[in-house]
Amino acid sequence: MESVRQNDCNGFDPKPLIRFVMNTGYKDEPKVDQNGTIILRRTTPIHIAYKSACSEVLDDLFQIYDKFDVNYTDDDGNVTHFHAACKYGLYDVVEKFLKLGQDPNCFAEGSNSWPPLFLALIFDKKEVVKLLLKHGSDPNLANGKGETPLHIICQRCENVDDLAMMFFKVNKELNHSPLQIDARDNLGNTPLHLALRTGNKYKLVEWLLERGADPNLANAEGLTPLHIICDGYDDVEGLAEFFFIMNKKIKRTVEIDAKDKSGRTPLQLAVLSLAPKTLDVLLKYGADLSSFPFPSESYFTKDLIPSSSPFFLLFSYINRLSSGSRALIMVDMLENRGYELERGDALKIMGLFTKYRFYYEPMNLDTSWYDDEEFANEAKEMMMKPNLSLYDLVKLRPEEAEKKLTYSDYYDFACSRELMKLPEKLRQACAAHLCETMSRGFFRRWALDSFSELTRLNRLPIECGINFVRLVYTVEEEKRTKNECHSIPRPRHGLHSAQVAVGAARHFLRVRGHDEAHLPHKQGLAQRSEKGIRQVRQSLSAVEHAGLQGAEQVVSQSRRRARSHVRPRHGHRT
């Protein structure tokens, strides 16, 4: 037995040795102390096999350790022989323990001990679960984390429906005390919270609601089940819609505008998660948009593009296209429902594009990637929508490409994973180009407003502004003329132009004696100075990305505004 213990079943097959010992007829004899009391605290090979996931030898070991009226606990105090039998579904062994009076609700002495029923549920040992319940296992017993068996079931990712149905059915047959459907763990989560958080468990959610689960209970963070739905991935498979339909069926009202401890509503969480489908469902069922505050930048903390996972690195540029399109779909959706987007809201969206480098191209890639033969061959087969291939789209001038597709078209293309057919560098460059083409209109729409703020705060003469715009237009036109020999325009041409133009704007600031970090403000505006500095910097970023495409429009509108001396209203479309 000692050799089994030392090898921990790793790199050594203990089965022949155990079988040999078993065939000799050897049986373990309990050890007793000086008073003749059996010593229950001793680590046996059964404990070692339990911890090493060496389950194939447990049946044979229980032939040797066959005193089922004795339940040994390991030296750590966290595992007993009975726990081992329940975890690995040894029905006959569990039954022998129970017939000899073993408490089905026993905890081991250690702080990390769990009830046997929990182990059977976690490892999907349905027959052992039934056996334990029939012998008095408490279906509402909580572990040290406050979790009940229902919490354990609702956290599972596989075979959830069968296990839950069996659990509900057996408890009903045995006429046990009513299940505590809304029991809370130490974090305040109910089983419904957990069912909604991990996977699309529609049947389980339905059963919980039909059995009285409260759809509005909040956890310790103030998150209701609806908050949980809206804080997850976009509603690809209709979980939000299903939740409202089910509650209507059982005649329960969902508190759609409930706030968590941070003051966030489900609507705000849907926006933060860039979840337009979930957002659409919330608006459909009456979420209050009139008092909706666009989430502040500090809340945009979720890692939309995880950087550590190899899987996400593989899809990172496609994920950028997906996330960028979802953000813009969401903005359109809010505005179509009557929300007036302000410049500050737009700058938050622009900040996401900058933070996650949605339009970033690999620096070491030849700018003529669109002339690559492999790209051309593959792109001609990739359809952005009927009658428009990726190749045809990239060939178009930016202002033409902008009109061809909706944000939803870009999102659908990103979800299709068609770009995965391209080599990595071509994939990166193409995804960045699509992001820029897609966002071009949104950024241009806000460029004039941002530029107007820049000139207003720094008292720049309108002629400086016009010259600034002309500079952008001139540089951009030079690039277009230079590239006329190519059938495909250079990607990101506007961005470089804007960088030149922004440099000119900063030069104007220096000419007027104002460092960018020390913008002028009068005594009455002292409290606004810090905000003004931040707005100017954001304005520069907005102008830089937009490239002030459509510069002729900007020039003419700047002149009209100079004559009228009327400051543009936030949300005005250019």
pLDDT digits (tens, 9 = 90+) for 5-57: 555 555 567 778 888 887 888 898 999 888 889 999 999 999 998 888 778 89
Q: What beta strand segments (E) does 181-283 contain?
A: none
Cβ–Cβ contacts within 10 Å for residue 574, how many? 14
In whole angstroms, what is the distance from residue 471 CA to residue 91 CA? 81
pLDDT score recorded for residue 210: 96
Q: Which residue has the higher pLDDT, 350 or 494?
A: 350
Alpha-helical (H) ranges within 382-423 are 390-395, 398-404, 407-416
pLDDT score recorded for residue 135: 96
Q: Which residue has the higher pLDDT, 288 or 541?
A: 288
**Once rounded to an integer, what is the mean pLDDT over residues 434-455?**
77
DSSP state of 384: E
* Residue 564: alpha-carbon gap to chain centroid: 48
In whole angstroms, what is the distance from residue 45 CA to residue 4 CA? 7
The vertex-277 CA angle with 276 and 278, nearest 5°, equals 90
Amino acid at site 247: N
In whole angstroms, what is the distance from residue 314 CA to residue 296 CA? 30
Mean pLDDT for the chain? 79
Q: Which of 27-31, 224-228, 352-356 has the lowest mean pLDDT?
A: 352-356
Amino acid at site 316: S
Specify whether domain 1-137 bears CATH 1.25.40.20: yes
Phi, psi of 257 (to 5 degrees): -110, 20
**Once rounded to an integer, what is the mean pLDDT over residues 369-389?**
91
**Once rounded to an integer, what is the mean pLDDT over residues 434-448?**
84
**Helices 407-416, 316-336: inter-axial angle, 10-degree rounding:** 150
Q: Mind listing the pLDDT tens digit for each residue in 244-288?
A: 999 999 999 999 999 999 999 999 999 998 899 999 999 999 999
Amino acid at site 63: Q
Residue keyed to tokens 């903390």: 301
Cβ–Cβ contacts within 10 Å for residue 193, how many? 25
Q: Which of 30-44, 159-173, 296-310, 524-538 has the lowest mean pLDDT?
A: 524-538
Q: Which residue has the higher pLDDT, 473 or 432?
A: 432
Q: Which residue has the higher pLDDT, 412 or 311?
A: 412
Q: Mind listing the pLDDT tens digit for each residue in 174-219?
A: 987 899 999 999 999 999 999 999 767 999 999 999 999 999 999 9
pLDDT level of residue 295 (50, 70, 90 thresholds): confident
pLDDT score recorded for residue 304: 53
Cβ–Cβ contacts within 10 Å for residue 285, how many? 17
- Token digits for 106? 């026993």
- Token digits for 272? 């933060």
* Residue 163: alpha-carbon gap to chain centroid: 27
pLDDT level of residue 526 (50, 70, 90 thresholds): very low
- Token digits for 134? 């029939």
> Looking at the predicted structure, is the pLDDT value of residue 476 above 60?
no
- SS3 per residue for 461-527: CHHHHHHHHHHHHHHHHHHHHHCCCCCCCCCCHHHHHHHHHHHHHHHHHHHCCCCCCCCCCCHHHHH
pLDDT level of residue 499 (50, 70, 90 thresholds): very low
Domain assignments of the chain as residue spans, ordered by start? 1-137, 318-564
**Once rounded to an integer, what is the mean pLDDT over residues 538-562?**
47
* Residue 359: alpha-carbon gap to chain centroid: 21
- Highest mean pLDDT range out of 32-41, 126-135, 236-245, 524-533? 126-135
**Once rounded to an integer, what is the mean pLDDT over residues 214-226?**
98
Report the percentage of the chain scoring pLDDT > 70. Answer: 70
In whole angstroms, what is the distance from residue 232 CA to residue 228 CA? 7
In whole angstroms, what is the distance from residue 279 CA to residue 233 CA? 12
Contact 516, 537 (CB under 8 A): yes
pTM: 0.78
- Token digits for 316? 């990172």
Q: Mind listing the pLDDT tens digit for each residue in 73-132?
A: 998 888 999 999 999 999 999 999 999 999 999 988 766 778 999 999 999 999 999 999
pLDDT score recorded for residue 529: 39
pLDDT score recorded for residue 469: 54
**Once rounded to an integer, what is the mean pLDDT over residues 136-154?**
96
pLDDT level of residue 530 (50, 70, 90 thresholds): very low
* DSSP code string of 83-95: HHHHHTT-HHHHH
pLDDT level of residue 359 (50, 70, 90 thresholds): low
pLDDT score recorded for residue 509: 43
pLDDT score recorded for residue 159: 87
Contact 189, 148 (CB under 8 A): no
Q: Which residue has the higher pLDDT, 319 or 521?
A: 319
pLDDT score recorded for residue 291: 87
> Looking at the predicted structure, is the pLDDT value of residue 405 above 60?
yes
Contact 43, 7 (CB under 8 A): no
Report the percentage of the chain scoring pLDDT > 90. Answer: 45
> Looking at the predicted structure, is the pLDDT value of residue 557 above 80?
no
DSSP state of 83: H
**Once rounded to an integer, what is the mean pLDDT over residues 387-416?**
91
C-alpha closest to that of 68 among 93, 33, 39, 45: 93
pLDDT level of residue 511 (50, 70, 90 thresholds): very low
Which strand (E) or helix (H) includes residue 25?
Answer: none
pLDDT level of residue 368 (50, 70, 90 thresholds): confident
